[in-house]
Structure 1
Amino acid sequence: MDRILVADDNTEITDLIENILEKEGYEIIKTYSGLEAVDAFDHTISLVILDVMMPEMDGFEVCQKIRQKSQVPILFLSAKGTDIDKVVGLSAGGDDYMVKPFSAIELVARVRALIRRYHYAAKTPQSGNVITVNEVLTVDLDARKVTKYGEEITLTRTEFGILELLAKNKGKVFSTEMIFKSVWQEKYYEGNNTVMVHLARLREKIEDNPKKAQIIKNVWGVGYKIEE
């Protein structure tokens, strides 16, 4: 049984999430502050659901603490739904961002997708190949490690998935829909800017100048690629 850590200072929200997800067969660990969430996290957790605004330590800080020791998927909850809010959340190391109020169907779908990708990545055998990109990056598929000019870069699981997809298919152009279906393994909906947010964050980490990207290039009106 997958264990999900939920952190929200609103007991009605934590109880609602518990009621919804326990019916789906998940075990729920409820916490009511950022500090409680950090203390409760351990290697048995398959997913973390974090409220952004919490006492003592906000969700972004909790995410950063967890990222120091784990790449477990993290889903942010917030009443704020602007693109800037989502960028901040995903930039902190989150994998997904859901706006309150949310439906039970949406919550279950997001949770299933995140946990499915997490288990899939953990079980997928790696080839041991190391891909060099632009004589700048090395992408170690076995260790799931990326270095730039010999210095390791920390990527989230999703960021690594995007980079791996493009690096293994140099010269091929991928639309945002193709990237989403490949990395997220979900149906794509028009207007979904999730790929753009993660791409922007990835470029900040791997490009010398993200505004003039030389590694992940735009093919205007079509998509993105890494040159051969």
Structure 2
Amino acid sequence: MYNIGIIHGRVSEEEIGMYIEEGNLNCFNTVTIDKNNLSAELENKDAILIFPNNVDSEVAEICQLIMEIKMNSESFIWVVSKIYDEKKRVVYLQLGVDGNISTECSPRELQLIVKNALDRKSTYENQSVSQKDGTKSNESLPELNEKNLSFVAEGEEVPLTRTEYRLFKLLLSNPGIAFSYEELYRKVWNKPYKNEKYRVSNVVFHIREKLEEYSLSPNHIKTVRSVGYMISE
């Protein structure tokens, strides 16, 4: 069963509960997310549904939520709004949500949109695992250049910040072995870990962006759910 996080903004929980029940969204494991503990609440969530009240004063809060979700998880994100507001919808899409849905859309339609996307992702991930098990990847691991604070992969040299370099070097030191968020934080920042998962996720996010920018596979760094990250062998 898929795990769906619900963020209700300023819409009442009762109203959202009726919408969920009507659309048979209870076929998912739906959980209300505490916005004040967002990074921890995002663990093991396959998708996030945000229900804003669509007042202008709420837009900044919704944008901040979207950015934090993108930084700390790989969950699908949909914004479910009562009012069609093109400007807000475009802003949310620019921040990376997977879609805007109006409550004029039937709850059943929303349920199918979410289910179809998650089913497709699950099928793709299963196929990728099968292909990896059946054939040995020809993709070589990146080579680090400590002098330039960069790495070279497939003939491309990619510049990194000092923190990105330290984290990537640590992951590359043991391909196929998962490093926890705590271990990565302590060894890269040389500080005690106080649930700074978001800092680790942010650095990994930027490394993956650079991999994609240079047409390299961001899948070099694999997310290990509820644990941390590892380099794919």
Structure with the bigger RCO (C-alpha within 8 Å, sep 6+) is 2
Normalised TM-score (structure 1): 0.48
Normalised TM-score (structure 2): 0.47
Whichever structure has more helix as a proportion of its residues is: 2
